[in-house]
Chain A
Amino acid sequence: MSNAASTSNPVEAAVPEFTITRTFDAPRELVFRAWIEPEQMTRWWGPHHYTTPESTISVDARPGGQWRATMISESDGAEWQTGGEFREIVEPERLVFTWGGVDESGKPDHGTLITVTLAEQGSGTEMTFHLSGIAGHPGDENVYDGWAECLERLAGYLVRDSGS
């Protein structure tokens, strides 16, 4: 069986899973706190041309604790409620949480599972971010549906945003 994980492979590129590695010129404690403190999250959470007001962010940083944040598009003011649940917290090196959309009743869809690993690298920090589109168990149709729906909404905003 071929295990080539190259993104040029059309099959692997379609699997809802990827890793991003970044090195920051900041100590590990600082990077860790940027992930769980609302006053810091408001300054970076979400892609370019989005704002996430601090008043919409809540974080209960412990296993089983919930988080919520509302992203607002700068181009058309569209609001996107996101949220999830913490699964694992090892300060200051590891965070595992679900990430996805939130429905009208405030329930998160747990569309994706995110693992953030922080390693000291000199005076800086190497962050490894892994996203998996399968937060539940393979074959759990609801989880897949949640993931797909979440992506669809996200894509809608991204398309609108790039058109401005």
Chain B
Amino acid sequence: MTTDDLSRTFAALADPTRRAILARLAEGEATVGELAEPFDMSLPAISKHLKVLERSGLITRGRAAQQRPCRLSAEPLREAATWVERYREFWEGSFDRLDEHLKQMQRELQERKDHE
């Protein structure tokens, strides 16, 4: 996955309606009409979101069938989740060190107090 692909994935995920659509598709494929149902939104508005998701590679749409059912494509989602997880690990590691540092600082302050 290139940086551009990842940016597109994150951009697509930035919208709550698109996240809800993806969550629905995680349960199985659906038509545009079925996807639009829970939202107070027109079909063209939903179609616009689906185009963004399709361009980002997060969903694929059937070509043959009239209704072109939408299907979740798991790989880009997995790649994006991996980046987020790495970032979290990066900071968790820093905070382990911060914890050690603060304990050391406390000890030093205490020693100084004891010497007074």
Q: Which residues of A line the B interface, CB within 8 A?
A: 1-2, 9-18, 20, 22, 24-26, 30-31, 34, 40, 43-48, 112, 127, 129, 131, 133-134, 138-139, 141, 144-145, 147-149, 151-152, 154-155, 158
Contact = CB atoms under 8 A, between A and B. Distances in A.
A11 B13 contact: yes
B43 interface: no
B51 interface: no
Nearest to A127: B95
Interface string B69-81: 0000010011011
Interface of B: 3-4, 6-7, 9-11, 13-17, 19-20, 22-23, 26, 38-39, 74, 77-78, 80-81, 83-106
A14 B13 CA distance: 8
* Main SS class of interface, B: helix
B99 A13 contact: no
Contacts of A17: 84
Contact of A154 (B19, B90, B100): B90
13 contacts: A1-B20, A10-B74, A14-B77, A20-B91, A22-B98, A25-B102, A25-B103, A34-B105, A129-B91, A145-B7, A148-B7, A148-B10, A154-B86
Q: By CB atoms of chain B within 10 A, which of A14, A141, A145, A149 has the most?
A: A14
Given A11-B13, A133-B10, 16 more contacts: A9-B26, A13-B81, A16-B80, A18-B84, A26-B103, A44-B101, A46-B94, A46-B97, A47-B89, A47-B92, A47-B94, A147-B10, A148-B3, A148-B6, A149-B3, A158-B90
Nearest to B84: A16
Given A1-B38, A155-B83, A11 B14 contact: no
Contact of B14 (A10, A30, A43, A138): A138
Given A14-B9, A144-B10, A152-B3, A34 B98 contact: yes
Contacts of A155: 83, 86
Contacts of B95: 20, 22, 127, 129
A2 B86 CA distance: 26
Given A14-B81, A40-B101, A138-B14, A151 B86 contact: yes
Contacts of A127: 95
A10 B20 contact: no
